[in-house]
A and B are shown apart, each in its own frame.
Chain A
Amino acid sequence: MTLNQQRKLKTLVTGLFAWTVALVLFFPIFWMFITSFKTELQAISIPPALFFEPTVDNFRVVQERSDYVHHALNSVITSFGSTIIALIIAIPAAYSMAFFPGKRTKDILLWMLSTKMLPAVGVLVPIYILCRDYGLLDSRTALVIIFTLMNLPIVVWMLFSYFKDLPKEILEAARMDGATPWDEVVKVVLPLSVGAISSTALLSIVLCWNEAFWSLNLTASDAAPLTAMIASYSSPEGLFWAKLSAASTLACAPIVIFGWFCQKQLVQGLTFGAVK
């Protein structure tokens, strides 16, 4: 086998492997999508129905029963709102830790990350009582605050990882030209980090969009996002898979389309700092 043939074979094997992994990962989403076009009986049939007459009846039922726009709006407001606040807090924090590290910077970073290891249910009761006492139950404000706090460690970490790879000489040159710390952040660091910030924002939005624990526990009707809408289609007594799939498809669609358009930034953001 020639070197050229070996290379081609390697590319073929790698390609096949990548496609297999991609198909395995994508399969549940595909199955959810096609189940949403089945009747309830087709959805549970064994062996599974692969060829069937599609129906949009489940989507009609979801539209009739749930106020999709209301839930979607709540998802947009809470995920975008919390991401913006998280970025406002995280950018200066990451900047100071990346360019002016102190003795305890590493400890602080580790401590921030460690808060992600705490099971959410461990703080459910105190947070629920706080929300009750401040009249924040079933409000978007509560979700925005919780989502911000929840994603802040990840946002700070991602931005910190990027900022620390920026050449310090650029900042020194700016300082030589009389730039204040505010100028450094706004006029130098931010323009250089647009890619990193947008990918961090994207990741934070996706995490907030998919969050279910706090959404289900702290909201009822007014502030309930799409995750709460999906949960309402599970039934203890009765067939529900087709309708649940339709609700899930509708809930996933906006973020999947959004992610599709922004996948370049997302991949870039997830891999920055990975290859030196």
Chain B
Amino acid sequence: MNNTIKNAVTLTVSLSAAVIAVNAAAQTEITVATVNNGHMIEMQKLTPIFEKANPDIKVKWVTLEEGVLRQNVTQDIANKSGLYDVMTIGMYEAPIWGERGWLQAVDTSGNYDKADILPSIRDGLSYKGTMYASPFYGESSMVMYRKDLVEAAGMEMNDRDSWDHIRDVAAAVNDPSKGIYGICLRGKAGWGDNMAFMTTMANSFGARWFDENWKPQLESNEWKTAVNFYVNLVNKYGPPGSSSNSFNESLALFNEGKCGMWIDATIAASFVTDPKQSKVADQVGFAQSPISVTEKGANWLWSWALGIPVATKNVDAAQKFVRWATSKEYIQLVGNTNGWAAVPTGTRSSTYANPKFQKAAVFAEAELKAINSANPNDSTLKPSPYVGVQFAAIPEFQAIGTTAGQMVSGALAGSMSVDQALKNANRAADRQMRQAGYY
């Protein structure tokens, strides 16, 4: 009797252990690091559908603030820690990390339809023709303006207006006594904050970050003219405290009806036309970014993309997830689930060709035009050695761009002259480039 009980217990324990072991071995867990953007949160919500279709994969999410995400994923990938299996990276990181061999090449085989991805976005995420990250959503920059205010001021807005015209419209619309400011622009220091906008503006004035020999060009006349124009424009017709405003602050002002114009990321179009978020949703018009002497580099190009570090132990599961999240089918899924105005844009031609999307997104045409006109390989009037529109895709740029951003923000706040700011920024950039061995 005792032996029978013993055997039964042994059998039960062995079977349970075997079942647990089989389950544990069957399910691969992948960790995805991402930022807290609307589209990313939606992806998180829809992940159970992916898990249902792939019962052998479980997805864990780590959502971080953008700065912290950059620091964490850089730390992880550079040290080959393997903490994350999929990471959200930008167009700045993808080619640099791809060149260093830190990222897996994107698996574009089968029905992934690489040709459907917008060419400028695909190029921006590639190094020597190989894609190292899959675009989840893409964006450029454009003008968003209040049709009612512009009309009431007797002015007109067109695609590719000149900066002088933009200034005139801002002056006509500006009415601080009613809490309306002519134009809202980024002023907060940072290579991805004020310098993203400032670089596109400077590009259109004919400026470039570096010459063919990688010598910084921030003291050139083109940069001086552009930054002086920007500082005068914002100080005269911008909201008070602009030197601490970036995307979110300007979005809040625009949605509150306090900006006549706002030039920023195309992704903002879906927010400012959403009546749940914006008090002026039905009064917003769109136009291509303004220019001065050239159209080259006048609007930026950016993409949040999913990359797979080489240190991951779950390459296959990670590839499967990335292919799903950046596929045409995923966009279809979001469209059917949340409506076509909410789909991640700026990645695939098929999205813009979809009549349902065209009907739902009033900004679709302007956004596509902006993205298609941005060329990261040819963004300056004079020749330049770098790739990128609003940044130079070299590791040193983050530090150089942020220092320049602090100087320009200082000039905007009136703590130094534009000439002094550009001199300081150029000196810092020169030191950085020398130390890095560019010359």
Tell me if chain B binds chain A.
Answer: yes
Tell me if A2 is interfacial: C-beta within 8 Å of chain B: no
Q: Verify B64–A232 contact, CB threshold 8 A.
A: yes
Given the known interface contacts A132-B81, A137-B81, A232-B65, the answer about A238 and B256 at a Cβ–Cβ threshold of 8 Å is no
Considering only residues 14-69 of chain A, those with a C-beta below 8 Å from chain B are 40-41, 44-46, 65
Considering only residues 228-271 of chain A, those with a C-beta below 8 Å from chain B are 228, 231-240
Tell me if B33 is interfacial: C-beta within 8 Å of chain A: yes
Tell me if A143 is interfacial: C-beta within 8 Å of chain B: no
- Residue in B36, B251, B271, B279 whose CB lies within 8 Å of A234: B36
Given the known interface contacts A40-B277, A128-B75, A232-B63, the answer about A239 and B251 at a Cβ–Cβ threshold of 8 Å is yes
Tell me if B62 is interfacial: C-beta within 8 Å of chain A: yes
Q: Verify A235–B37 contact, CB threshold 8 A.
A: yes
Considering only residues 209-245 of chain A, those with a C-beta below 8 Å from chain B are 216-217, 220-221, 224, 228, 231-240
Q: How far is the CB of A114 from chain B (nearest CB, A)?
A: 27
Q: Verify A237–B68 contact, CB threshold 8 A.
A: no
Tell me if B84 is interfacial: C-beta within 8 Å of chain A: yes
Q: How far is the CB of B45 from chain A (nearest CB, A)?
A: 8
Residues of chain A lying within 8 A (CB to CB) of residue B271: 238-239
Q: Hey, what's the 0/1 contact readout for B351-374 against A, CB within 8 Å counting as 1? A: 000000000000000000000000
Q: Verify A46–B83 contact, CB threshold 8 A.
A: no
- Residue in B33, B75, B84 whose CB lies within 8 Å of A217: B75
Tell me if B379 is interfacial: C-beta within 8 Å of chain A: no
Complex Cα gap A138–B44 (Å): 20
Complex Cα gap A44–B257 (Å): 12
Q: Verify B255–A44 contact, CB threshold 8 A.
A: yes
Residues of chain A lying within 8 A (CB to CB) of residue B75: 128, 217
Residues of chain A lying within 8 A (CB to CB) of residue B63: 65, 232-233
Q: How far is the CB of A119 from chain B (nearest CB, A)?
A: 15
Complex Cα gap A234–B255 (Å): 19
Q: Verify A132–B60 contact, CB threshold 8 A.
A: no
Q: Verify A235–B36 contact, CB threshold 8 A.
A: yes
Complex Cα gap A40–B65 (Å): 18
Interface centre among B44, B75, B255 (most CB of A within 10 A): B75
Complex Cα gap A221–B60 (Å): 7
Complex Cα gap A128–B267 (Å): 35
Q: How far is the CB of A130 from chain B (nearest CB, A)?
A: 11
Q: Verify A231–B62 contact, CB threshold 8 A.
A: no
Complex Cα gap A234–B81 (Å): 25
Q: Verify B81–A235 contact, CB threshold 8 A.
A: no
Q: Verify B60–A216 contact, CB threshold 8 A.
A: no
Number of A-B residue pairs having CB atoms within 8 Å of each other in the complex = 90
Tell me if B41 is interfacial: C-beta within 8 Å of chain A: yes
Residues of chain A lying within 8 A (CB to CB) of residue B253: 46
Complex Cα gap A54–B42 (Å): 25
Residues of chain A lying within 8 A (CB to CB) of residue B41: 65
Q: Verify A236–B71 contact, CB threshold 8 A.
A: no
> What range describes how many residues of A lie at the interface?
20 to 34
Q: Verify A231–B37 contact, CB threshold 8 A.
A: no
Q: Verify A237–B247 contact, CB threshold 8 A.
A: yes
Q: Verify A236–B35 contact, CB threshold 8 A.
A: yes
Q: How far is the CB of B267 from chain A (nearest CB, A)?
A: 6
Q: Verify A137–B65 contact, CB threshold 8 A.
A: no
Tell me if B235 is interfacial: C-beta within 8 Å of chain A: no
Given the known interface contacts A46-B256, A238-B248, the answer about A216 and B36 at a Cβ–Cβ threshold of 8 Å is no
Q: Verify A233–B81 contact, CB threshold 8 A.
A: no
Tell me if A129 is interfacial: C-beta within 8 Å of chain B: yes
Q: Verify B83–A220 contact, CB threshold 8 A.
A: yes
Q: Hey, what's the 0/1 contact readout for A107-141 against B, CB within 8 Å counting as 1? A: 00000000000000000000011001000011000
Q: What is the chain A residue whose CB lies nearest that of B32?
A: A221
Residues of chain B lying within 8 A (CB to CB) of residue A45: 256
Q: Verify A235–B255 contact, CB threshold 8 A.
A: no
Q: Verify A220–B256 contact, CB threshold 8 A.
A: no
Residues of chain B lying within 8 A (CB to CB) of residue A40: 277
Q: How far is the CB of A44 from chain B (nearest CB, A)?
A: 4
Q: Verify A231–B256 contact, CB threshold 8 A.
A: no
30 A-B pairs with C-beta separation under 8 A: A41-B276, A44-B252, A46-B252, A46-B253, A46-B256, A128-B79, A128-B81, A129-B79, A137-B83, A216-B72, A217-B71, A217-B72, A220-B31, A220-B83, A221-B61, A232-B64, A233-B36, A234-B66, A235-B38, A236-B35, A236-B37, A236-B65, A236-B248, A237-B37, A237-B265, A238-B37, A239-B248, A239-B271, A239-B277, A240-B248
Q: Top 7 closest A-B pairs, CB basis?
A: A232-B63, A44-B252, A234-B65, A236-B66, A235-B36, A221-B60, A132-B81
B→A interface (CB under 8 Å): 31, 33, 35-38, 41, 44, 60-66, 68, 71-72, 75, 79, 81, 83-84, 192, 247-248, 251-253, 255-256, 258, 265, 267-268, 271, 276-277, 279
Contacts A44-B256, A221-B31 known; list 19 others, CB within 8 Å. A41-B276, A128-B75, A132-B79, A216-B68, A217-B71, A217-B75, A220-B84, A221-B62, A231-B64, A232-B36, A232-B64, A234-B65, A234-B66, A236-B66, A236-B192, A237-B265, A237-B268, A238-B38, A239-B248
